Amino acid sequence: MPQKILIIDDDPDILDMMSTLLTGEGYEVVLSDTSEILKDLLAIAPDLILLDVNMPKSPHNGDVLCDTLKGNLKTNKIPVILVSGECDLEIICSNCRADTFVAKPFDIEILSAKISSLLLL
């Protein structure tokens, strides 16, 4: 059974590109352009979450969502990678307890390596 990655990003081109990349690497991919999907998180049961920080269409930005996930006993073990073009991404990552981050525009090999390393833990 393939590992499942939930990708939350409000940019449809990013969703499409990441989906194509990760499906090609053998992952099952669930896509969402809004944080509203998090209400179904336990049913989705992702092995990892790729999360954009700045999502104006969503009620909360990704850093707030990540901090909420990491503060919940049912979801705090799910690895979260912030994927964003924000300037202070390293600080944001630390403040919201994300496992790591990848700055946009990102190198596909770096993203793949970070995903692999977190899913092997």
- Structural domain for 97, as ranges: 4-119
Candidates 95, 84, 88; CA nearest to 52 is 84
Could you give the angle at the alpha carbon of 26 between the alpha carbons of 18 and 96, nearest 5°?
50
* CATH code of 15's domain: 3.40.50.2300
- Quote the pTM value: 0.93
Pairing of strands 4-8, 28-32: parallel
pLDDT of 71 reads: 94
Question: What letter represents residue 93's amino acid?
Answer: C
pLDDT in tens, 25-72: 999 999 988 777 777 888 999 999 999 998 877 767 889 999 999 999
Number of domains in the chain: 1
What's the rounded Cα separation, in Å, for the pair 55 and 18?
Answer: 17
CB distance 41 to 1 below 8 Å? no
